[in-house]
Structure 1
Amino acid sequence: MVLFLILLVPLLAPGAKIKEICNVIGVRDNQLIGYGLVVGLNKTGDGTTSKFTLQTIANMLQSMNIKLDPRDIKSKNVAAVMVTATLPPFARQGDKIDVVVSSMGDAKSIEGGTLLMTPLKGVDGRIYALAQGSVTIGGRNGRGGGTLNHATAGRIPAGALVEQEVAYDLYSRNEATLSLKEASFQNAISIQNILNRYYKERVAVAIDARTIKLRKPKSVSMIEFLARAGELSIDYNIKPRIVIDERTGTIVSGIDIEVEPVMITHGDIVVKIEERKSLPAIRKGSDTVNIGRNTQIQPQNNAVVTRTGATTVANIARSLKKLGATPKDIISILEAMKNAGAIHADLQII
């Protein structure tokens, strides 16, 4: 089923906390990856065509003083997998983190299998964690990830032990740097001003649209300084954006994103938006839809009529859907409007 989402996203969101819109540079997650074997499968593992799996089994057995030619291995109860995890900032030795296990051979399913001890390495090639445990199917793909709803990928909650820490001495530092998640000169200046007013001295300076340099006051530690700073709220200026998922046909837009006068022809669909002398209209064949702002759409003969007002992306999407336009048609029309300069919001296609 196609989903159209028109969300109320105001251009100004007062009260956004600094910690919600900024990151502290250097305090971040690190990605880990490893290669291992899942065993204990009920004939749903890799077949003999996955030669790397057979070689891996032979190498593992050889480390246990069992020499075996890979060509002699016929087991279908083993699958070669890639193991991924996210090492959070300030993770310490002995902490447990979730891992995601994904088949890389021709296994039909890894459900119910057990991952053998697998070293997880960072981009620098060093081992930061060891993963092992029973694989579950249908969980969440890491923190905030999507659902793993197929049998060739699963997860192990708390399945890896941290063996090595990423050193970052924040306590003894006198300076830190904030990075806005979305660049904005106005937001950078707002953060600078509120921090300087709160501490009654120059502790922050915005150096560009994304970066704010901080110098802690002498009366507090860096940890306390960042904790207090993160709780301060600013009037957060949000740049309007339209997000389109081409695969599912989902459109997410602020409800007040206006469309300038324009005429677009797409197949048998004509979108004509004029100055406020008359209602803007969308026509498909003999059917017409008039569009306005913040109104209830009411069928009237073969037309859909609304009261006059500004034309928004929300109105256009609803009206096109009522005329039976496909998600591909709606996406193409919005892209054409953006390219013609009729939509000033960012258009993000995922």
Structure 2
Amino acid sequence: ARGYGSATALDARTVQVRVPSGNSSQVRFLADIQNMEVNVTPQDAKVVINSRTGSVVMNREVTLDSCAVAQGNLSVTVNRQLNVNQPNTPFGGGQTVVTPQTQIDLRQSGGSLQSVRSSANLNSVVRALNALGATPMDLMSILQSMQSAGCLRAKLEII
């Protein structure tokens, strides 16, 4: 059963298929499904902040560009470096791998201007600010300023 009516979308993640009768037809049908190319449109980067509770929800597409941040008595320094690991033996078949290393430094006194390097993980920055006791207003102000400066690569929605 190929073509119209052989597959039905049950929800956004589930597709129900009608498998043809006969072992050889079933095997061929399942092989066709396994080899099927599915193009998924990438999701837009988005951060949603609940202004009442201070909850911050973001998807995995959110990234940061380099910027400097200071808010009241809170300061955060985020440094992210890329390390290159190469195999010792040139003919051993190993592959060169690039691995990120992120270091977060938190301070609660003297809101001096702090640097945030490109591609730092916004989730880590928000967790660090929450651990310091940043208020929902602090979080909103910092993220809005980062977006205005072009550092936050995401749509910011405050509810």
Please tell me the TM-score bracket, short chain as reference. Answer: 0.5 to 0.7
Shift of residue 329, structure 1, vs aligned partner: 1.0
Secondary structure of the residue aligned to 2:40 is strand
Q: Which amino acid aligns with 1:266?
A: Q
- Structure-1 residue corresponding to 2:74: 269
Pairing of 1:5-20 with structure 2 (within 5 A):
none
Partner residue in 1 for 2:105: 281
Q: How far did 1:332 drift?
A: 1.2
Q: How does 1:1-350 map to 2 (within 5 A)?
A: 234-255=39-60, 257-273=62-78, 276=81, 279-285=103-109, 310-350=119-159
> How far apart are residue 274 of structure 1 and its match?
5.1
Contact 2:66 2:151 in 1 (8 A): yes
Whole-angstrom CA distance in 2 between matches of 1:256 and 1:281: 24
Cα RMSD after superposing both structures: 3.8
Structure 2 spans left out of the alignment, 5+ residues: 1-8, 13-37, 83-101, 111-117
Q: Please, what TM-score do these two structures have when normalized by structure 2? A: 0.52
Count of matched residue pairs = 105
Cα pair 1:274 1:280 within 8 Å, conserved: yes
| C-alpha separation in 2, matches of 1:255 and 1:235 | 15
Q: Deviations over 1:238-290 (max 9, x none)?
A: 1110011212322111245222221111101123345639845342128xxxx
TM-score (norm 1): 0.26
Between structure 1 and structure 2, the one with the greater Rg is 1
Higher relative contact order (CA 8 A, sep 6+): 2
SS at match of 1:347: strand
Query: What letter matches 1:281 in structure 2?
Result: D
* Structure 2 CA distance for partners of 1:340 and 1:281, relative to 1, 3 Å: farther
Percentage of matched positions with identical amino acids: 27
Change (3 A) 1:323 1:264: same
3-state SS in 2 of match to 1:334: helix
- The structure with the largest strand share of the pair is 1
Q: Which ranges of structure 1 fall in alignment gaps of 5 or more residues?
A: 1-16, 21-232, 287-308
> Stretches of 4+ moved more than 6 A in 1?
none
1:203-231 deviations in Å (ceiling 9; x for gaps): xxxxxxxxxxxxxxxxxxxxxxxxxxxxx
Query: Aligned in 2, Cα 1:279/1:249: closer, same or farther, shift over 3 Å?
Result: closer
Q: Which residue of 1 aligns with 2:114?
A: none
Match of 2:85 in 1: none
